[in-house]
Amino acid sequence: MTRNLWTRALWGGVIGTVVQDIILLIGRAAGWVKTNMLSALARLFTTQGVSTTPSGQILGFVVHILLGAILAIIFAAIIRALHSRHNLIGGVIFGLLMWLAWGALSVPSGLASAPWSLGTPTTIFTLAGSLAYGLILGYAVSEEAVRERN
């Protein structure tokens, strides 16, 4: 793997997003997560009826991967500006901020309810998914990841 910060951030964002989606999928399959983020993201580009179909879910997944990658590049720019080298905690904080932003922006846009308003299991799973995203992203852009590959 390359030492390039931007490439590591991009892959960290993609992998973190996939892990986040797996966590949310497990929660939804168990009946604990009452929101479908992929449908909400698909509704940005299509109707509500289409967003819940398999095609809509795929569209939502692609949009989520792209957003995860874009946010990862933003995170890399922030840690580069701060000259940070050990970014696990920074990544977790970033994941928490993204979870808060998701809840704060989804309600006024009408896409979904805030995850913390849908009960404790939904809150826990959505928060765990966002923290996993941040942790993976933080690790990907940390010096520990570079040293491990040498």
Q: What is the pLDDT of residue 147?
A: 62
Q: For the purposes of burial, counting CB atoms within 10 Å of the CB of 120, is it exposed (0-12), middle (13-18) or buried (19 or more)?
A: exposed
* pTM of the full structure: 0.90
Handedness of CA 110, 111, 113, 114 (dihedral sign): negative
Q: For the purposes of burial, counting CB atoms within 10 Å of the CB of 83, is it exposed (0-12), middle (13-18) or buried (19 or more)?
A: exposed
Q: Which residues of the chain have pLDDT under 50?
A: 1-2
Q: What is the pLDDT of residue 2?
A: 45
Q: What is the pLDDT of residue 92?
A: 96
- Decide: 8 and 1 in contact? Cβ < 8 Å: yes
Q: What is the pLDDT of residue 115?
A: 86
Could you state, in order of their start, the residue ranges of all structural domains in the chain? Answer: 5-148
> What's the pLDDT tens digit per position in 9-44?
999 999 999 999 999 999 999 999 988 889 989 998
